[in-house]
Amino acid sequence: MKKTNINIKAIFSKIKTFFVRINPFKKSGNTSLTSMKNYIVKNKLLVGGIAAVAVAFLGGYYIKSLFIAATVNGSPISRMKIIKELEKRGGASTLESIVTEKLIKQEAARRRISVTNEEIDSAIANIEVSLKSQSQDLKSALALQGMTLNDLKNQITLQKLVEKLLADKVTVTDEEITKYITDNKISLPEGTDQENTRSIIKQQITQEKLGQEIQSLLDDLKKAAKINIFVKY
């Protein structure tokens, strides 16, 4: 659908002309103070009037877009219709996700747990390295997922908060790593960076344990929280 473009420069072009005119008060080398004052007042009113019309026009367009998403041959499609359709398709899961996010952030704040910008940047850098090894870049990967960089940062923040909230319950021992290697019949040929391999396996086990513990954490948070649901999907 073709998007309507508003040429803001064109709307304000008339205003600009008031600042490039030749001085109209110059009469035979003398300047009339009274005429100058009258001119300034008159032009201030005119500039103000044009600015008011421009703001009203832009404001009207903005307000219209708050209610109308599009028109088809003059027939409007309301934003409320779009919202209702989206809620019908994924309202329940989206609400559950937002409630979960809020519970995690509230609990982290209560325990004074936070995630620094350095931690987020480090996580993003690791993702970029991983994507680069697959001949991909972060911008394209995010676009494929329908995500923005801020979406990714928010997800990383939530993941880090969960890891810190469950840090005392999620520990991985060397014995567990060795058992994982044995149970999954992972071979470590000579020349393999075994320390790096064990580190990767440790991360895998940690994620598995987090998956098991997070549901228990969320259940406890929901029981302790006062959650009022006003919309049923």
From CA 103, how far away is CA 222, in angstroms rounded? 8
Q: Residue 108: left (phi > 0), alpha (psi -120 to 50), or beta?
A: alpha
pTM of the model: 0.61
- pLDDT at position 45, please? 55
DSSP state of 66: H
36, 91, 98, 199 from 206: Cα distances, Å: 77, 31, 25, 10
From CA 100, how far away is CA 227, in angstroms rounded? 11
- pLDDT at position 37, please? 53
From CA 143, how far away is CA 120, in angstroms rounded? 19
For the chain, which residues score pLDDT lower than 70? 1-66, 188-193
For strand 75-78 and strand 68-72, is the pairing parallel, antiparallel, or unpaired?
Answer: antiparallel
Which residue type is seen at 19?
F
Task: Extract the runs of DSSP E, i.e. beta strands, from 15-55.
Answer: 26-27, 30-31
Q: Quick one: which of 233, 174, 166, 224 has its CA closest to 202? A: 174
Q: Quick one: which of 121, 113, 124 has its CA closest to 164? A: 113
Kindly give, in sequence order, each residue whose CB lies less than 8 Å from that of residue 12, ignoring residues fewer than 6 positions away.
Answer: 50, 51, 54
From CA 116, how far away is CA 122, in angstroms rounded? 10
Helix (H/G/I), strand (E/B), else coil: 112? coil
Domain locations along the chain = 8-72, 113-165
Q: Quick one: which of 169, 165, 170 has its CA closest to 218? A: 165
DSSP state of 3: P
- pLDDT at position 22, please? 37
Helix (H/G/I), strand (E/B), else coil: 71? strand
97, 138, 139, 141, 192 from 130: Cα distances, Å: 27, 10, 13, 11, 19
Which residue type is seen at 132?
K
